[in-house]
Structure 1
Amino acid sequence: MKHLIPLLSLLLFSPGIFAELLGTGDLGVVIEREPAAIQIVNTTYKNALSRISDLGDLSHASVVFSRDARYAFIFGRDGGLTKIDLLENKVAKRIIQAGNSIGGAISQDGRLIAVSNYTPGGVKVFSTETLELIADIPALYGDQQLSKVVGLVDAPNQKFIFSLFDAGEIWVADLKEPARPQIQKFKNIGKQPYDALLSPDGRYYIAGLFGDRGLALLDLWSPEQGVKRILPDYGKNDEKMPVYKMPHLEGWAMAGNLMFVPAVGQHEVLVVNQNTWQLIKRIPVIGQPVFVMARPDGRHIWVNFAFPDNAQVQIIDTKNLQIIQSLTPGKAVLHMEFTPRGEHVWVSARDDNQVIVYDTSSFKEIARLPANKPSGIFFSSRAHKMGL
Structure 2
Amino acid sequence: MRAMKISSLILAALFVGNLAPAAAADAPALYTQHCLSCHGAGRLGGMGPALLPESLERLKRKDAVATIREGRAATQMPPFGQTLQPDEIEALAGWIYSPVSPAPAWSEADIRASRTEPFPPGSLPDARQGDVAKADPMNLFIVVEAGDHHVSVLDGDRMERIFRFPSRYALHGGPKFTPDGRYVFFASRDGWVSKFDIWNLKVVAEVRAGINTRNAAVSSDGRFVAVANYLPGNVVIFDADLKLLKVIDGANLKGDAASRISAVYDAAPRKSFIIGLKDLPEIWEVSYDPAAKPFFNGYVHDYKMGEAIATPGYLNPRRTVLDVPLDDFFFTQDYANLVGASREGRGQVVNLDVRRPIAALDLPGMPHLGSGISWLRDGRRVVASTNLKDAQVSVIDMQNWQTLATIPTLGPGFFLRSHENSPYAWVDSMMSPTARDTLQVVDKQQLKVVAQIRPEPGKTFAHVEFDRYGRYVIASLMEKDGALIFLDASTFKEIKRLPASKPIGKYNLFNKIQRSEGTSH
When normalised by structure 1's length, the TM-score is: 0.85
- Computed over aligned residues only, the root mean square deviation of the Cα atoms, in angstroms, reads 2.3
- For residues 245 and 478 of structure 2, what CA distance do their matches in structure 1 show? 36
**1:367 Cα deviation after fit:** 1.3
- For residues 108 and 89 of structure 1, what CA distance do their matches in structure 2 show? 22
Partner of 1:345 in structure 2? 473
- Residue-by-residue CA offset, 1:225-280 (whole Å, 9 max, x unaligned): 61234225x44xxxx6xxxxx76433212011111122352111111111100012
Partner of 1:27 in structure 2? 140
Partner of 1:133 in structure 2? 244
Q: Bigger shift: 377-386 or 91-100?
A: 377-386
1:105 to 209, 217, 224: 217
- For residues 412 and 146 of structure 2, what CA distance do their matches in structure 1 show? 23
Partner of 2:232 in structure 1? 120
Q: Which amino acid aligns with 2:413?
A: P
Mark the structure with the bigger radius of gyration: 2
User: Which structure: greater helix fraction?
Assistant: 2
Q: Which has the higher contact order (CA 8 A, sep 6+)?
A: 1
Partner of 1:243 in structure 2? none
1:188 corresponds to 2:293? no
**1:340 Cα deviation after fit:** 1.2
Whether the 8 Å contact between 2:345 and 2:367 is mirrored in structure 1 is no
Q: Which amino acid aligns with 1:296?
A: E
What does 1:114-263 align with in structure 2 at a 5 Å threshold?
114-128=226-240, 130-141=241-252, 144-155=256-267, 156-177=269-290, 180-191=314-325, 193-213=326-346, 215-220=347-352, 223-224=353-354, 226-232=356-362, 234-235=363-364, 248-256=368-376, 257-263=381-387
Given the superposition, is the C-alpha separation of residues 56 and 334 from structure 1 closer, same or farther in structure 2, using an over 3 Å criterion? same
Structure 1 unaligned blocks of 5 or more: 1-10, 12-16, 241-245
> SS of the residue aligned with 2:425?
strand
1:276 to 387, 400, 406: 400
User: Which structure: greater strand fraction?
Assistant: 1
**1:34 Cα deviation after fit:** 2.7
2:418 to 294, 312, 316: 294
Whether the 8 Å contact between 1:151 and 1:197 is mirrored in structure 2 is no
Whether the 8 Å contact between 2:320 and 2:355 is mirrored in structure 1 is no
- Residue-by-residue CA offset, 1:21-77 (whole Å, 9 max, x unaligned): 34521212110113211011111111111111142222x342011111011111111
When normalised by structure 2's length, the TM-score is: 0.64
Count of paired positions: 357
1:378 to 487, 493, 507: 507
- For residues 230 and 200 of structure 2, what CA distance do their matches in structure 1 show? 32
1:325 corresponds to 2:447? no
Partner of 2:432 in structure 1? 307
- Residue-by-residue CA offset, 1:81-117 (whole Å, 9 max, x unaligned): 1111112212111111111111121112111111111
- For residues 320 and 289 of structure 2, what CA distance do their matches in structure 1 show? 20
- For residues 255 and 316 of structure 2, what CA distance do their matches in structure 1 show? 21
Given the superposition, is the C-alpha separation of residues 273 and 298 from structure 1 closer, same or farther in structure 2, using an over 3 Å criterion? farther
Whether the 8 Å contact between 1:189 and 1:227 is mirrored in structure 2 is no
Partner of 2:165 in structure 1? 52
Partner of 2:200 in structure 1? 88
Whether the 8 Å contact between 2:212 and 2:229 is mirrored in structure 1 is yes
1:357 corresponds to 2:486? yes
Q: Bigger shift: 196-205 or 335-344?
A: 196-205
> SS of the residue aligned with 2:180?
coil
Whether the 8 Å contact between 2:466 and 2:472 is mirrored in structure 1 is yes
What does 1:33-48 align with in structure 2 at a 5 Å threshold?
33-48=146-161
Whether the 8 Å contact between 2:441 and 2:449 is mirrored in structure 1 is yes
Structure 2 unaligned blocks of 5 or more: 1-124, 293-311
- For residues 291 and 168 of structure 1, what CA distance do their matches in structure 2 show? 26
Q: Bigger shift: 305-314 or 94-103?
A: 305-314
Whether the 8 Å contact between 2:283 and 2:321 is mirrored in structure 1 is yes
